[in-house]
A and B are shown apart, each in its own frame.
Chain A
Amino acid sequence: MSDDAPREEGARRGLTRRSLFKGAGAAAAAGAVFRSLDASAKDDVPAGPRTQGPGKAKLTLQVNGQSREVQAEPRETLLEVLRLPLDLTGAKPVCNRGQCGACTVWLDGTPVYACSVLAVEAEGRKVTTVEGLGNPDDMHAVQSAFVEKDALQCGFCTSGLVMSAAWAVGKHGPDLSEEQARAACSGNLCRCGTYPHVVEAAIAAAKTAKKGG
């Protein structure tokens, strides 16, 4: 997003950047200009940044290895787009301000709070959700370990904790220490009190992981 971005597309629709800002307010404008890596962009539109919004615009996300096209407002968060319209409801809305970690997903392999990432920011990056890690019949080692060690109770924080713990296991492999597991999960709140079993699960899963896995 930069100020000298070409304005052709917006201008063609009778919108200038200025009028758009004026009409939509700062919150919407913040996400109104974004880099589209959508290869299907029309041939007569120069490649590079284009202006869309503040209404719904087409967005292509790479989610769990699949290309998913959605209509979303530029101000919508990745969490909102994942849950509706994509119906990937593993990531949970709990605090909606980056405090609890229940919406943790991976962006290019790194855990992020999906409530604090705009959907447009995720365009062109690999999004992995808890559903992409495994399913009930074919679980990721960390998911199996969560079940085995009972690292879940009500389960509402579990998706986020699985994503944090699986990241730590992937990063540290069999050498994962309790301190590292705890640090990786320190941004995830749980109300039922699963923390001790989460650490046990992460360590157990790490023992089966390959180094640098």
Chain B
Amino acid sequence: MPRTVTYKVGLVGHDKYKQGVEGIEQDLTVEIHELDAQPWGRDDVFRHVGHDVPRVDGPVKATGAAKYTYDINRPDLCVAGLVVSPHAHANIVSVDASAAKAMPGVLAVKTYEGRRVTYAGGIAAAVCAESESVLGDALNAIQVVYDVKPGPAVTDDAMKDGAPVVDPRRKTNVAGPRRGPLVRGKPDEAIAGADVVVEATYRTPVQTHSCLEPHGCMCEIHDDGTATVWASTQATAFFANRRLTQALGLPRNKVRVLTHHMGGGFGSKFSALEWDVICAEFARETKRPVRLMLSRRVEHLVGGNRPDSIQRMRLAGSKDGTFAALDGETWGTSGNGTGGAGSANFMVYELPNLSMVQNGVATFSGIGRAFRAPRHPQGFYALESVIDRYAYAAGVDALAVRMKNDRHPVRQVQWRIGAERIGWRKNRRQVPGSDKGPVKRGVGCASGRWGQGGRHMVGRSQLVFDVVVDKDGGIAFQNAVQDIGTGTRTLIAVIAAEELGLAPGDIDVRIGDTNFPPGPGSGGSTTAPSIGAAVRNGALRVKESLAGLLALEWGVDEGALRWKDGVCRGPDGKQATVREACALLGEDGLRVRGRRERNWRSPYRETAGCQFAQVAVDTETGFITVEKVVAVHDCGRVIDSLTARSQVNGGVIQGISYALYEEKHTDRNLGDMVNPTFDTYRILGMEDCPPIDVVLTSVVAGYSNTGMAGLGEPATVPTPGAIANAVYNAIGVQVTDLPMTPARVLEALERRQG
């Protein structure tokens, strides 16, 4: 029987900034499942939730004791590696592995003659050896003969008429939208009649995930006919796919996947991939544990990437700053697949008239994978850039334009907070590029959004946590979900501790193991909001069971008992803590299950965010220094403000890195990546990192009993746009290509002077 609850939702705190913002606080009435916990409301006070809680696995990570897939050693461990094609398009004519096979310590070799490779990084051969040095020798000794074919590896070339096609069933590499252009209103008429029309084309690079732990796994087939696969994955529940289990020669229920710690995924590591299958085959063939981790070069080539984009944007509006229409067309490659162009070009703002065409371009290059807020950083970079262009053309303040066309109540508050903290009025140059001297400063801003309140299903299974309680008070929360570095373990401990009146350190969190109920894949920033509600319900079930025991013990009716702050109170001053109640358990303890119920209706369509940046640009060298970033983000109810700030720092840092440094350079003639190392593929380092002012606007949005929403992805959405707009404000000319390298800054300055 569903029950109806009414409670307070909306922005927690920030009273000074929420004056007069409609809908920022509301009463919400929802029907919830009878077993679901009473939702935490806006004004509730907590002991752990929302505070700075150090992550529970911090000590093992800070001391090197945490074991990652790459660290799982066995006395008889074998290592495997790959020989990959340096050509974008070729047929593998022959593979001579005789020398490799003859080497002592080489256990198995696989060759892939006759295979057509369609990207540099395509696998030509694989070796399994007893040690890393033997493996290296053997890989070097393999001779591959390729029949090299033309194959454009960069977007512009793949778009040309008559270019060789990746997919032989298609006539061209360019795939337009299946349902035709997205049209809303009458964009042509609106543009023709508008006061101000601006247009520009923006380009973004291919960005590789550059996870520090590469893709890979370690497969062990045991004598009892089961297997353990240690995997660097964001989805233990989905890693053991059909190809992997077939390679192991075992049914899926005999394959246990373990991911106790993993060294970064950012969207690139879900189900087992080609090399994982090879690793499994080697394990079966050699009857020994085998580990295959990609080399850094191969990781850059095939580990995944954020597709590049070419985005033509035309924005029209009135002189007072009201948008009338957006007309855009985008192209982008996700390597061998199509799709992935910036299609987040028309979000956030009210655009009564719209025309968008998004084209995917297949290229002969490594396939794109989901990368922290797929489509968003590139789409928002172009959208927010064309808005600044419009604001200067119309002669209106760029922040005022945004606030005018943005209807999200939370972001209205966030714009105010961010503007104050960056000193918008003082630091925004009224005339862009007006600073005297060679070093010019400016500030800019951009919006962000995300939409996840979590899910109640994992594949076709209901999301549940097993809770195991011992007589001595030990409490374990068990689920297969992995902690990819976001602090998943910690938030489980915080929520459970809050409900049970314990300290987060008292909760034994057992995750990253498919022997437990399936956990959600860490995609779409859904992990935390999905599991949080199940953890709460698990704790609730524990308290119900313990209350039953206490009622018997005290000889009272169960209905007369009330839990508050982890203490159960009965009539006549009787009371017991969770731990005291546990003593009533038998030696076999207690086992209950906390289930995630469906998401509820939320008055907020999506989560909001915005960022502001201040930069200094040396107009003689073209060098950009980011001096400060203010990041204001909503992630629903904040569970752990410490790890949440870390997440936002990470999003901002990856965003700056994308805006200023990162680019996968592909040789357009040879098709190979020319910078597959960390000195040539530059990611932001310690000395490049500006002060980041993180403001969390905790919003109880009503999605679930915790009110949580995702944070990992939204934090990187506004950054490139905010930095680009700050640069524009500083130098008075827009750099329309990412990354904004010194050369591109100087080119832009030259265009203005010329």
Report which A residues bind B (CB closer than 8 A). Answer: 73, 75-76, 80, 83-84, 87-97, 99-100, 102, 129-131, 133-137, 139, 143-144, 146-148, 150-159, 162, 182-183, 185-186, 188-199
Candidates B60, B63, B212, B643; contact of A156 at CB < 8 Å: B212
A188 adjacent to B686 (CB under 8 Å): yes
Q: How far is the CA of A158 from the CA of B264 in the complex (A)?
A: 12
Question: Which has the most chain B C-beta neighbours within 10 Å: A87, A93, A153?
Answer: A153
B649 adjacent to A194 (CB under 8 Å): yes
- B199, CB-defined interface residue at 8 Å: no
Task: Give me the 8 closest cross-chain CB pairs, A-B, nearest first.
Answer: A90-B64, A154-B485, A156-B263, A193-B650, A147-B58, A193-B653, A155-B61, A89-B71
- B691, CB-defined interface residue at 8 Å: yes
Q: How far is the CA of A76 from the CA of B134 in the complex (A)?
A: 11
Candidates A73, A151, A156, A188; contact of B68 at CB < 8 Å: A156
Interface mask (B206-238 → A, CB under 8 Å = 1, otherwise 0): 000011110000000000000000000000000
Interface mask (B52-77 → A, CB under 8 Å = 1, otherwise 0): 00110111111111111011010001
For residue A193, which residues in chain B have a CB less than 8 angstroms away from its CB?
646, 649-654
Instruction: Give the total number of A-B pairs whose CB atoms are below 8 A apart.
Output: 177
A158 adjacent to B62 (CB under 8 Å): yes
6 contacts between A and B (CB under 8 A): A96-B295, A97-B296, A130-B64, A150-B643, A151-B62, A193-B646
Closest to A28 in B: B133
A156 adjacent to B133 (CB under 8 Å): no
Interface mask (B641-657 → A, CB under 8 Å = 1, otherwise 0): 01101110111111000
With A147-B58, A193-B650, A198-B686 in contact, do A95 and B485 touch (Cβ < 8 Å)? no
Report which B residues bind A (CB closer than 8 A). Answer: 54-55, 57-68, 70-71, 73, 77, 131-133, 210-213, 261-264, 266, 295-296, 484-487, 642-643, 645-647, 649-654, 677-679, 683, 685-687, 689, 691-692
- Chain B nearest CB from A134 CB (Å) reads 6
Interface of B is mostly: loop
For residue A150, which residues in chain B have a CB less than 8 angstroms away from its CB?
54-55, 58, 642-643, 645-646
A92 adjacent to B55 (CB under 8 Å): no
Q: How far is the CA of A191 from the CA of B645 in the complex (A)?
A: 15
For residue B62, which residues in chain A have a CB less than 8 angstroms away from its CB?
130, 139, 143-144, 146-147, 151-152, 155, 158, 162
- Chain A nearest CB from B45 CB (Å) reads 23
A146 adjacent to B58 (CB under 8 Å): yes
Beyond known contacts A94-B296, A129-B64, A193-B650: 14 more, CB 8 A cutoff: A73-B133, A90-B63, A94-B678, A131-B65, A143-B62, A144-B62, A147-B62, A153-B650, A154-B212, A154-B263, A154-B264, A183-B687, A193-B649, A199-B686
A154 adjacent to B646 (CB under 8 Å): no
B63 adjacent to A92 (CB under 8 Å): no
B58 adjacent to A130 (CB under 8 Å): no
Closest to A130 in B: B64
With A92-B213, A155-B261 in contact, do A99 and B70 touch (Cβ < 8 Å)? no
A154 adjacent to B262 (CB under 8 Å): yes
A157 adjacent to B212 (CB under 8 Å): yes
For residue A159, which residues in chain B have a CB less than 8 angstroms away from its CB?
64
With A83-B71, A87-B73, A192-B485 in contact, do A99 and B64 touch (Cβ < 8 Å)? no
For residue A92, which residues in chain B have a CB less than 8 angstroms away from its CB?
68, 70, 212-213, 263
A153 adjacent to B689 (CB under 8 Å): no
- Chain A nearest CB from B57 CB (Å) reads 8
- Chain A nearest CB from B609 CB (Å) reads 16
